[in-house]
């Protein structure tokens, strides 16, 4: 072997990695012990992988080796050495995993560092670059690794974190797995101190499912926290376990530790993280749940357990009812797993609903982070009511604060109210003052406000909630609201007498003037203070939905709408007079075009703002000309 020692090659780190190392080595001084957690986490992964191979009866070298992690500390030599008997790495893997090819997470981690400052080093493991954290404490790192194949060669990777690394072949007697020697910086010598290191392990890695020995003494005590009875696990242990598996720095906002024995046996421990990395802009949540069968990790990232709309949940599921040698493909169809999934999802949804009832402030925080993703669950038909129970919206209620639940809305509904009304638009201001709201306001009927494009699918997609139909306020058949008395009844008494014939003559003339721009002009039942509003034809898409479709595909024509006019409004009454005096009075054309332009602005569906501005300006010029004629 020794002759092969000459095979030494030198490589350069990819630019982003160099940049990352530079920050880690030269500017981070807090949270340095994160590196212990990261190296242990990598060793655990490597051990899990070897155990999985063993289960599948694949040939591995030294199959009699104990699966364990050994840490040796040498104060005099100022070294921290961690050894695992895991899967090890080939030369290609070495280069790819901790070498030249920048892992996709490097750039994201750097971004997070810039945004979040020194504390973000806690997040390093999330971005798949946790190994490099060792350079916060070490001035030189020597990693020796041997793959699990029977004749796998040994490689040693050495770097001082300053831009380059070398790889030697055949330079160590490592039997299987990986050994990392961290030559500690002078100011990091406490990581060679037994007491210091043991404490860090007890805090961060106590529940690691393999023995961790420090200078030959076993340190971790709890093996699989999710198999323990709830009463024997402290909050702190739960929280540290979460941080370990989720690579997140904050305590979770909710957790569900749930075990069952009959008819199905399983243990589950699930957490809702405080922050939603996807909403924060770090790409789609992709971590899944760790799946264990009889203490063996079958999948470190199972996407088959929770539905997509709960993809921010982290945790562990273990069941002894599943076959050990199951492949990931057949796992999806396993009837046991399907039943377990149903139970867990249902439990989790109930637990979240309970949190909303008992700890509204915590739920508010949870909703603000994860609500956008939970809403995607509107089409989980099996759990529809439970998911809908979790949704929160803003509403016309003054103190709604974006947190009105559907149950709460239903409780407040007017007894004669047909269903749950919602209206979509850009903002609270736009909706509160929208003409469509006038009737609802006058009758004191609450309307849910939706600002998120997905709501256009979510609310109509539910169809109903607790037997109440879900209706878009701008499409609803408002004649059904007749039975609900207006709250401002004295206003009703002061209403001017409406000449229906005059109003419908005017409507007819207006349709002639506007031509194809509108589907029809009708007399409105819904307006109180505004002269006119555009509404969708019955059963057509809601306005907001049309806007979305138009954004997605510019070829989707925005369907022409019905212009409703308020026969009690002075502008309309004056226009009626003009019309009665002279049915083809050109001033009427100007008024109608301008009125149409103003309601289009409110509706927000202007396809061609240039044409619209030109029409308004032309109307203004004509009326200015008429006014100046008059004044002459």
Binding-site member from 87, 293, 535, 588 for ligand ADP (CB under 6 A)? 87
Residue 89 interacts with ligand ADP (CB under 6 A)? Answer: yes
Q: Which is nearer to ligand ADP, 130 or 371 (CB)?
A: 130
Spatial contact of 325 and 293, defined as CB atoms under 8 Å apart: no
Q: Which is nearer to ligand ADP, 155 or 579 (CB)?
A: 155
Q: Which is nearer to ligand ADP, 42 or 442 (CB)?
A: 42
Residue 530 interacts with ligand ADP (CB under 6 A)? Answer: no
Burial class (CB in 10 A: 0-12, 13-18, 19+), 55: middle
Contacts of residue 241, defined as CB under 8 A and 6 or more positions apart, other chains included, come to 207, 225, 269
3-state secondary structure of 416: coil
Binding-site member from 24, 43, 214, 437 for ligand ADP (CB under 6 A)? 43
Residue 46 interacts with ligand ADP (CB under 6 A)? Answer: yes
* CA angle at 312 for the pair 309 and 316, rounded to the nearest 5°: 110
User: Could you tell me the smallest distance in angstroms from the CB atom of residue 132 to ligand ADP?
Assistant: 6
Pull the structure tokens for residue 557.
């024509």
DSSP string, 500-519: HHHHHHHHHHHHHHHGGGEE
Q: Which stretch binds ligand ADP (CB under 6 A): 42-50, 208-216, 321-329, 596-604?
A: 42-50
Q: What is the C-alpha R_g of the chain?
A: 34
Q: Which is nearer to ligand ADP, 56 or 537 (CB)?
A: 56
User: Could you tell me the smallest distance in angstroms from the CB atom of residue 604 to ligand ADP?
Assistant: 45
Binding-site member from 21, 73, 129, 158 for ligand ADP (CB under 6 A)? 129
Q: Which is nearer to ligand ADP, 128 or 419 (CB)?
A: 128
Binding-site member from 17, 60, 67, 98 for ligand ADP (CB under 6 A)? 98
Residue 86 interacts with ligand ADP (CB under 6 A)? Answer: yes
Binding-site member from 13, 28, 37, 38 for ligand ADP (CB under 6 A)? 38
Binding-site member from 79, 122, 178, 442 for ligand ADP (CB under 6 A)? 178
Residue 546 interacts with ligand ADP (CB under 6 A)? Answer: no
Q: Are strands 448-450 and 392-395 parallel, antiparallel or unpaired?
A: antiparallel
Instruction: Please report how the helices 543-552 and 455-462 are oriented relative to each other, as an axis angle in degrees rounded to 10.
Output: 130
3-state secondary structure of 421: strand
CA distance 402 to 55: 51
Residue 123 interacts with ligand ADP (CB under 6 A)? Answer: no
Q: Which is nearer to ligand ADP, 105 or 405 (CB)?
A: 105
Q: Which is nearer to ligand ADP, 103 or 509 (CB)?
A: 103
- Nearest in space to 99 (alpha carbons), one of 70, 47, 53, 141: 141
User: Could you tell me the smallest distance in angstroms from the CB atom of residue 327 to ligand ADP?
Assistant: 21
The counts of H helices and E strands in the chain are 20, 23
Residues binding ligand ADP: number (CB under 6 A): 17
Looking at residues 350 to 369 of the shown chain, list those that interact with ligand ADP (rule: CB under 6 A): none
CA distance 194 to 304: 41
Q: Which stretch binds ligand ADP (CB under 6 A): 83-91, 290-298, 375-383, 440-448?
A: 83-91
Residue keyed to tokens 């949270």: 31
Q: Which is nearer to ligand ADP, 219 or 431 (CB)?
A: 219
Binding-site member from 25, 42, 79, 383 for ligand ADP (CB under 6 A)? 42
For residue 366, how far is the Cα from the chain centroid? 11
Q: Which is nearer to ligand ADP, 87 or 458 (CB)?
A: 87
Q: Which is nearer to ligand ADP, 37 or 561 (CB)?
A: 37
DSSP class of residue 127 equals: G
Instruction: Please report how the helices 586-603 and 609-631 are oriented relative to each other, as an axis angle in degrees rounded to 10.
Output: 140
Q: Which is nearer to ligand ADP, 247 or 443 (CB)?
A: 247
Contacts of residue 583, defined as CB under 8 A and 6 or more positions apart, other chains included, come to 509
Binding-site member from 131, 207, 271, 440 for ligand ADP (CB under 6 A)? 131
Spatial contact of 606 and 600, defined as CB atoms under 8 Å apart: yes
CA distance 194 to 199: 8
Looking at residues 243 to 282 of the shown chain, list those that interact with ligand ADP (rule: CB under 6 A): none
DSSP class of residue 557 equals: P
Binding region for ligand ADP (CB under 6 A)? 38, 42-43, 46, 84, 86-89, 97-98, 125, 128-131, 178
């Amino acid at each position: 072997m020794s002759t092969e020692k000459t095979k030494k090659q030198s490589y350069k780190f990819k630019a982003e990695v160099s940049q990352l190392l530079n920050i880690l080595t030269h500017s981070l001084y807090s949270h340095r012990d994160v590196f212990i957690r990261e190296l242990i986490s990598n060793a655990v992964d490597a051990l899990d992988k070897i155990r999985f191979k063993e289960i599948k009866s694949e040939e591995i070298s030294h199959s009699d080796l104990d699966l364990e992690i050994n840490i040796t500390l040498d104060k005099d030599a100022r070294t921290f050495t961690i050894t695992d008997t895991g899967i090890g790495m080939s030369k290609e893997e070495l280069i790819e995993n901790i070498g030249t090819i920048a892992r996709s997470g490097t750039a994201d981690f750097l971004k997070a560092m810039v945004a979040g400052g020194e504390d973000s080093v806690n997040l390093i493991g999330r971005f798949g670059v946790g190994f490099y954290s060792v350079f916060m404490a070490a001035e030189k790192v020597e990693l020796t690794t041997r793959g699990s194949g029977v004749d796998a060669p040994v490689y040693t990777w050495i770097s001082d974190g300053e831009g380059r690394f070398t790889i030697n072949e055949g330079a160590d007697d490592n039997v299987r797995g990986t050994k990392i020697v961290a030559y500690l910086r002078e100011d990091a010598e406490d990581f060679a101190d037994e007491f210091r290191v043991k404490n860090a392990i007890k805090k961060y890695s106590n529940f690691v499912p393999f023995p961790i020995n420090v200078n030959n003494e076993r340190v971790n005590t709890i093996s699989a926290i999710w198999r323990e009875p709830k009463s024997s696990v402290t909050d702190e242990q739960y929280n540290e376990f979460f941080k370990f598996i989720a690579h997140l720095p904050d305590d979770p906002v909710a957790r569900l530790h749930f075990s069952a024995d009959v008819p199905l046996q399983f243990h589950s421990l699930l957490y809702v993280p405080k922050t939603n990395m996807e909403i924060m802009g770090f790409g789609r949540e992709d971590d899944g749940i760790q799946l264990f069968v009889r203490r063996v990790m079958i999948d470190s990232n199972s996407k088959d357990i929770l539905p997509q709309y709960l993809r921010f949940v982290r945790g562990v599921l273990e069941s002894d009812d599943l076959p050990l040698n199951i492949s990931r493909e057949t796992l999806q169809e396993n009837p046991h797993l399907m039943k377990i999934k149903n139970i867990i999802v249902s439990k989790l949804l109930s637990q979240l609903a309970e949190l909303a009832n008992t700890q509204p402030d915590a739920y508010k925080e949870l909703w603000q982070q994860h609500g956008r993703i939970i809403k995607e669950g509107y089409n989980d038909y099996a759990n529809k009511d439970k998911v809908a129970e979790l949704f929160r919206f803003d509403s016309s209620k003054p103190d709604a604060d974006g947190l009105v639940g559907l149950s709460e809305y239903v409780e407040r509904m007017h007894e004669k109210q047909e269903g749950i009304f919602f209206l979509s638009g850009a903002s609270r201001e736009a909706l509160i003052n929208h003409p469509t709201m006038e009737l609802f306001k006058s009758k004191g009927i609450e309307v849910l406000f939706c600002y998120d494009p997905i709501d256009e699918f979510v609310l109509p997609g539910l169809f109903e909630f607790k037997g109440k139909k879900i209706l878009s306020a701008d499409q609803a058949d408002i004649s059904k609201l007749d039975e609900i008395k207006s709250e401002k009844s004295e206003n009703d008494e002061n209403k001017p007498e409406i000449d229906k014939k005059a109003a419908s003559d005017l409507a007819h003339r207006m349709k002639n003037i506007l031509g194809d721009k509108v589907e029809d002009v009708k007399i409105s039942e819904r307006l109180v203070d505004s002269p006119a509003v555009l509404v969708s034809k019955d059963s057509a898409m809601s306005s907001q939905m049309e806007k979305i479709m138009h954004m997605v595909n510019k070829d989707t024509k925005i369907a022409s709408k019905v212009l409703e006019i308020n026969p009690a409004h002075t502008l309309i009454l004056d226009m009626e007079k003009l019309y009665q005096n002279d049915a083809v009075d050109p001033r009427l054309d100007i008024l109608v075009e301008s009125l149409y332009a103003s309601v289009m602005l409110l509706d927000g569906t202007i396809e061609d703002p240039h044409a619209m501005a030109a029409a308004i300006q032309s109307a203004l010029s004509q009326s200015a000309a008429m006014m100046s004629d008059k004044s002459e």
